[in-house]
Structure 1
């Protein structure tokens, strides 16, 4: 076996299981070790390793992380909490709001950060309303996954696809808007059916109607700059340039210490991406990858096979590594831009199947674990119908109404 294939296989295995036995190595550590070994054994030269790293994706992610950090620091999320508490009078009303807000915001910003922001907010709101938080927490992670499929900036795997395919922001959005909206509807219907008793139980008196601090000037600045960011994306300007320019504007401030912003940036995720880029660069030079590429031209001839292979891989190794593995193979299928959109749709929607399907799920479930437990099977009973209906509709739509 070629050394590059062994390094690739072990790295992806650790990505799938989270941590190997005995050793205390996390996913980020595994890909850093794997990338270093790829260079050490000569599977990829140092110069080619540098070239394999997609700095545009890293720059875009960093810029969006700075933007979301200011969303938190400004207290805009607290304003949203107060608004919801006044208007969502029933558990079902709160469910509708959660799905709509998580879906829309995840399309605009990275879905993982939206889950990070909304989990404590939801726990507080459901406690104040005296209702079961489980259906709303499931709605949060599933709507965040589904909504993020609508745009290139919705999640990390879409960023990779957007950069690799060259599809502009507007075209991506136009084609993915309806599948994402339909997925949000499927999410609402599934949760409404499985949790009909919890969602129809009368709420108790609000116990926490105040104490939602925010900074007015910072909120105004956030609204202005985030609007400018979206305008830049839709105008056709390079996404990474827009993201970094907006991040720079956010960092020009008299009120917020830079340390507070940097503490909210997920540098581990950025390092994970760097390692994955190098590992895939080394693996692509192997005979095994050539064989896999030839096999893909036979096995992945259509959108259906691509969708379900992508969905299966996304639940084995998570969606970002799955997309990195399938990215060079999509080019051989002859589907053009539609193939890239099908990969984005299926890998993202597949994240709803199990708790391990996406980082967003893990963020919500772990973040709420101190108050409520959501088991693997409880997530699966809702995630299975949501995933199957969403992917099936997405395949049908992109095959028949692709623009």
Structure 2
């Protein structure tokens, strides 16, 4: 008889991957939450264990970065960034390059999901008014955000988890993951330019349903305060102070404002994403307590697929990231990595993040861009995304595989 925990896990992860359950008005967060409730209600995960199953430092870090992003958004920083580049809209390739570099840099510092949530509406409005085809720029935003976020521990939710569980140093992570990220970003830009050659413009500019979205004008003081907080936080990450403690302290300081009401900042925190994380932690704990992942890994090892092999880890991570999305995949795989071999953790971070560009469900950032664009009557189909997502992912993973091969070769020469 199939284990009840396994049945709940399969239904939950299938629902998260699909994004819905036929006949029910549930999104990914609702599905994950129901999975966690089922694990608790069926006695698989006692309530006391459910609370400890949630990796609180990761949740605190994610929450703190959302507060920092809210400060920048309310200060008009995001709108100013896009509007300040509108002067080069007559040069679509240059605008694409600028927007991708900006998205990649900010994703490395603020998390890719947050950047996509903030930039997509502004980008849609500017592009449609100018008469440019929004598809290459929106796909570029998603791809650059995913790739750029691979460079740092705080770049995306799965990296936060990997960094916290693996106790990885911020600087060492950046030195290892930064170079392949830059090469992958250059490749993504080249692929987008080639794919959309002659298709950067649409027939005529059109007005959108959202003429005055209510984005605040640039407030130099509030934006400056947010940028100063971001730089201070990055500096603190190079110290021995726990990352989550540094982040929540900076977030607390930002909430102490004489002009910006804390309620406005809290409203911009993505509580759905935080709930999704908490629920998935509980679901993963449920099957881990039954030793199911360990048995699966042993079965794979019997077929010659050992997770300690960095090439095999890249393949397994890529496959799982596109079956269930990269965050749930990372939650499962971190339990089998060796804390004494940081290369395993770096490879998981890069492969799970790069794999997020393959198909739409590969990363939450993709879904955010697609859902936000739909509000402007811009449809990004599975096929359209795959036209650039597949070659971008293959190129990025090739860079990672070559990096692993070179490091193996150097080790053999030195040994």
Taking structure 2 as the reference length, what is the TM-score of the superposition? 0.90
Match of 2:327 in 1: 320
CA deviation after TM superposition for structure 1 residue 244, in Å: 0.3
Matching of residue 358 in structure 1 with residue 363 in structure 2: yes
| CA spacing shift, 1:399–1:237, aligned 2, 3 Å | farther
CA deviation after TM superposition for structure 1 residue 380, in Å: 0.5
Distance 1:335 1:238 in 2: 19
Superposed counterparts of 1:111-260, under 5 Å:
111-199=112-200, 213-260=217-264
Once structures 1 and 2 are overlaid, which stretch shifts more, 179-188 or 125-134? 125-134
Once structures 1 and 2 are overlaid, which stretch shifts more, 164-173 or 278-287? 278-287
CA deviation after TM superposition for structure 1 residue 326, in Å: 1.5
CA deviation after TM superposition for structure 1 residue 124, in Å: 2.8
Match of 1:272 among 276, 286, 291: 276
Matching of residue 25 in structure 1 with residue 31 in structure 2: no
Distance 1:390 1:339 in 2: 17
Distance 1:44 1:243 in 2: 30
Distance 2:356 2:250 in 1: 29
Show CA shifts across 1:167-207 (max 9, x none): 11111111000111011101111001011113499999xxx
CA deviation after TM superposition for structure 1 residue 57, in Å: 0.4
CA deviation after TM superposition for structure 1 residue 329, in Å: 2.4
Q: 8 Å contact 2:306–2:313 — kept in the other structure?
A: yes
Q: 8 Å contact 1:342–1:395 — kept in the other structure?
A: no
Q: 8 Å contact 1:81–1:212 — kept in the other structure?
A: no
Distance 1:287 1:255 in 2: 52
Distance 1:65 1:116 in 2: 11
Q: CA RMSD in A?
A: 2.3
| CA spacing shift, 1:290–1:388, aligned 2, 3 Å | same
Distance 1:384 1:341 in 2: 22
Q: 8 Å contact 1:90–1:202 — kept in the other structure?
A: no
Show CA shifts across 1:132-171 (max 9, x none): 2211111000000000000111100111111111111111
| CA spacing shift, 1:268–1:202, aligned 2, 3 Å | closer
Distance 2:164 2:320 in 1: 21
Taking structure 1 as the reference length, what is the TM-score of the superposition? 0.92
Show CA shifts across 1:365-389 (max 9, x none): 2212224222211110111110001
Match of 2:395 in 1: 389
Match of 2:208 in 1: none
- Any idea what SS the aligned residue of 2:122 has? helix
Distance 2:359 2:294 in 1: 31
| CA spacing shift, 1:137–1:324, aligned 2, 3 Å | same
Match of 1:295 in 2: 299
| CA spacing shift, 1:163–1:368, aligned 2, 3 Å | same
Match of 2:100 in 1: 99
Q: 8 Å contact 1:8–1:279 — kept in the other structure?
A: yes
| CA spacing shift, 1:200–1:24, aligned 2, 3 Å | closer
CA deviation after TM superposition for structure 1 residue 99, in Å: 1.2
Q: 8 Å contact 1:170–1:236 — kept in the other structure?
A: no
Show CA shifts across 1:193-245 (max 9, x none): 011113499999xxx9xx98211211221121111111111234211011101
Q: 8 Å contact 2:75–2:216 — kept in the other structure?
A: no
Match of 1:344 in 2: 349
| CA spacing shift, 1:305–1:83, aligned 2, 3 Å | same
Matching of residue 379 in structure 1 with residue 380 in structure 2: no
Match of 1:42 in 2: 43
Unaligned runs of 5+ in 2: 206-210
Show CA shifts across 1:342-399 (max 9, x none): 1111111111111221111111122122242222111101111100010111122144
